[in-house]
Structures are given as structure tokens and as C-alpha cells.
Amino acid sequence: MTSTRPAGTIRPTVDFGGTGKQVGHLQLPQSEHEDAWGVVPIPVAVIANGDGPTVLLEGGNHGDEYEGPITLCDLVREIDPHEVQGRLIVLPGVNWPAVAAARRTSPLDGLNMNRCFPGDSLGSATQQIAAYVHDVLFPMANAFIDLHSGGSSLDILPSAILEIGANESHTARNRAAAEAFGTDTVVGIDNRGDPRTATASAARAGLTVVGTEMAGAGSVSIGALALCRQGVRNVLAHLGVLTRDQSVPRRSPARHFVLGPEAHVLSNDTGVFEPLQMLGADVKAGMPVGRIYDLGTPNRSPFELTATCDGLIFGLRHPGAVRPGSCCVVIASPTRMSDDNGR
């Protein structure tokens, strides 16, 4: 993939064509009142040795999701270049302004990076970062691992995420990578039909793509972090980049799910959300899954939220306070692997 769009202003301090281990920054110029010629330093590492595929690994697309960035920092420290056959390009905090602020969106422009692809190389800060990943890094890579969690507003069942490819063989590649991660569940997410995500853009670029959702609730989950650390190594072994197989086989086949059009149970009132089901619980359409309390009107009965489809509880809202339109419960519906292409 060769970009014909205008070149941006981001400059790396690492040599993507070099060998060994390099750790540096992508320097995004940021001319502010306090700093006329300053930069936003986005951490990046390149670990390369021999011939083999290039894998781009990204964490911190959302700044309040922590299991991925911690995992990638560990990877940068622990991997010896001699263990690599190919190249790893690691971005543990790709949306650095959001990571530094511990926010889903960037404090510089208010944008959600995962709704900015393919970006704009001469746009706002978030748009420029997305464009650099899309225009410069995607063409270097054969595969893309995008590590997400539920962030501050959701706690999500730890799962590998399947991105649908351009055709059946591409989807099969993505499915194999998602299954290699080693989670009990593999979930297809279409983000309410929005095509501007990193994984959707990487799939359009032809890369083998795997994403994750690793717990969340604005904190670090011990179990999800352990799963993420091992899962990344599982996928790298699956892709043939690690010369020493560090993968751990799954004990049982993964269950496959999809977030369909009825997946999101929304609040229609202002109040406090009480979940009635645990993450991973199986539910049927119409089953109570939560309640909204109006604390200022104690004699008013809470409004009941019911499951909008059959499936399992994939995500639960973390902050108690809700307003009309808040996503309170996410339900993943079971799917046969053969049906994934048609969702």
C-alpha cells in the first residue's frame, strides 16, 4: 500500500530499517503558547533481526485502557532481538496525549483516535497520529495487534476481537490470529457500523489483524493483564516472529460471538445503574439485566433494563451515574464461525 496523501510532520527518532533493539519516539510537532517549537513524544520501539514478517503492535489508542500498554512495555524490555525473526514495531502509548491524561479522548483536540482513521496528516494532533499509523506504519507491516480494554466507562469480558477481512481467506487469517491469542471468547465487533477504527483500516490495508478487549473499569485487572501478556506472545509465535515458541495452547476451543445491532442496552433515564447480571452470564431476550434508580425521587420504582437479544454479558457500565443514551450493558450473540463473513 503506497500512500498518495500529503506527507505529515511526524518524525521518528528510530530507524525502522535498522536491526537490534531501538527505543525512541515519534515526534509530533506541537506549537503552543507555552512552547513554540515543541513536540509530543510518542514512545516507539523497533526490535528486528533476520528475515520474517513485520508486526505492528499498538496500545494506548485510548488513554484510559491499561492492560495493553503495560503488556507492550514488558515486551520491549524482555524480548531479545535474537528471539525475533522479522521485525516488531511497538507503540505502547500511541495516542500519547490521551495516555498522559488518562482519558479516552485526546485533551489536545477532544478526538477519539479510534474514530479518526485514516486520519489527516495535516489535521489536528489525533488526526496526524492516525494518519502516520495508516500511511507510514501500515505499509511496513504484515500484521497488526491492537490492544484495547473497556476504559473508564465499561468493564468487558476479556476477549480477542475478530476483524472481518476483504474476503474469506483474509477473514480466516484474522480468525486464526484471534484464536491463537488464547481467550475463551472471540467476538466480532462492528462498532455500530463505524469504519474509522484502527483495526478496520488495517484490514482494508490487507494486514492480518487481531484486536482485544481486556477488562477495563479504568483500572488494571490482574487476570486480564496476565492473559494479555501471554496472548501477545501466543500471536507472535503463531505469526512466526518469535524464534522460540512461547505460546501456551488453549485447553478448549474458543466460543465465537458477535455484537449485532441489538447488542447495546441503553439507559433512557438519568440516575444510577445497578447491574443484575455478571460478566459472562448467559441471558435471553427480555431477561432483566439492570435497573436505573432516580435517587432524588425515592418513592419512584427503578426503571428495569432488559436484554435486547440472546447471548452473554460482554460488557457492563462501570460508573454508576447514567443519562439517557448511556450504554449500560453489552450483549454478545453466539455465532457459528461460518457465519462470521455474513455479519
- Kindly list the structural domains of the chain, giving each domain's residue range(s) and its CATH number in brackets, ordered by start: 11-256 (3.40.630.10), 259-335 (2.40.50.100)
Q: Does pLDDT of 94 surpass 80?
A: yes
Taking the CA atoms of 259, 261, 265 and 268 in sequence, report the sign of the dihedral they define: positive
User: How distant, in Å, are the alpha carbons of 274, 279, 315 from that of 323?
Assistant: 13, 22, 17
* Proportion of the chain above pLDDT 90, given as a percent: 86
Q: Cα 50 vs. chain centroid, distance in angstroms?
A: 29
All three cell numbers of 112, joined, read 477519539
Of 18, 151, 30, give the one whose Cα is nearest residue 84. Answer: 18
The confidence score (pLDDT) of residue 342 equals 35
Buried b (16+ CB within 10 A) or exposed e, 5-16: eeebebebebee
pLDDT tens-digit series, residues 114-145: 999 999 999 999 999 999 999 999 999 999 99
Of 174, 181, 149, give the one whose Cα is nearest residue 279. Answer: 149
Contacts 24+ apart (CB under 8 A), 163-168: 163/188, 163/199, 163/200, 163/202, 163/203, 163/209, 163/210, 163/211, 164/188, 164/203, 164/340, 164/341, 164/343, 165/203, 165/209, 166/203, 166/204, 166/206, 168/341
The confidence score (pLDDT) of residue 343 equals 34
The confidence score (pLDDT) of residue 30 equals 86
Alpha carbon distance 234, 247 (integer Å):
4
- Return the half-sphere exposure (C-beta side, CA atoms, 13 A cut-off) of residue 83: 16
CB 161 within 8 A of CB 187: yes
User: How distant, in Å, are the alpha carbons of 9, 97, 342 from that of 233?
Assistant: 33, 27, 30
CB 76 within 8 A of CB 45: yes
Alpha carbon distance 88, 268 (integer Å):
45
Residue type, 24: G
The pTM assigned to this predicted structure is: 0.92
Computed on alpha carbons and rounded to an integer, the radius of gyration of the chain in Å comes to 20
Cell 509465535 identifies what position? 237
pLDDT tens-digit series, residues 4-15: 788 889 999 999
